[in-house]
Amino acid sequence: MRRSSAAEVHSMKMSVLLRTAPVLIGALLMAGAPMAGPAAPVQLESQPVLPGYWEYTTRALGQGDTETKCVRPSEINRFFGGLSTRRWRCTYPVRQVGAGNAHFEGTCEDRKGRRVNVRLSGTYQQESFRFRGGAQLARGTPYIPASITARRLAAQCPANAEYF
């Protein structure tokens, strides 16, 4: 049995990461909205975005994914301040939110210990937000451009809406 060289192993890892990049980056972007670390609650402006029925689109590597979710008032800080996902746990030591602008930088790690760096910046209003930035899939590689755009569709959610 032939042993793989370090370059081949790195190439295989990059290949797996690049195949999963659109889904990964979408999850990271939603996980990447500005949020406080686990010990400190987010001190955002009074209601930076409103609860209700939201549509959000993530784009990376020329592919997009759009979802709709009902966001309860009790979930609005988690929605805007950092969407929790089943796969990624993110921390953002750099968080700046105020006056309609947001910027954050941090890292996300999955259950298998894979880490990526995340940078996002953008604008928000009570019924929409748009962040652009990217994710660095491996140390020393360039950030892959990505974006998330979200808009509130309605104050009330349809009866069949999926909750956040």
Tens of pLDDT, residue by residue over 40-87, are 334 445 667 899 999 988 787 777 888 899 999 998 877 775 544 556
Between strands 115-125 and 101-110, the pairing is: antiparallel
Buried b (16+ CB within 10 A) or exposed e, 37-60: eeeeebebeeebbebbbbebbbbb
| CA gyration radius, the chain | 17
The SS3 call for residue 38 is: coil
This model's pTM is above 0.75: no
pLDDT at 142 over 80: yes
Query: Distances from the Cα of 45 to the Cαs of 13, 75, 164, in angstroms?
Result: 41, 15, 21
Q: What is the pLDDT of residue 37?
A: 36
**Separation of alpha carbons 26 and 92, rounded Å:** 17
Local confidence band at 120 (pLDDT 50, 70, 90 cut-offs): confident
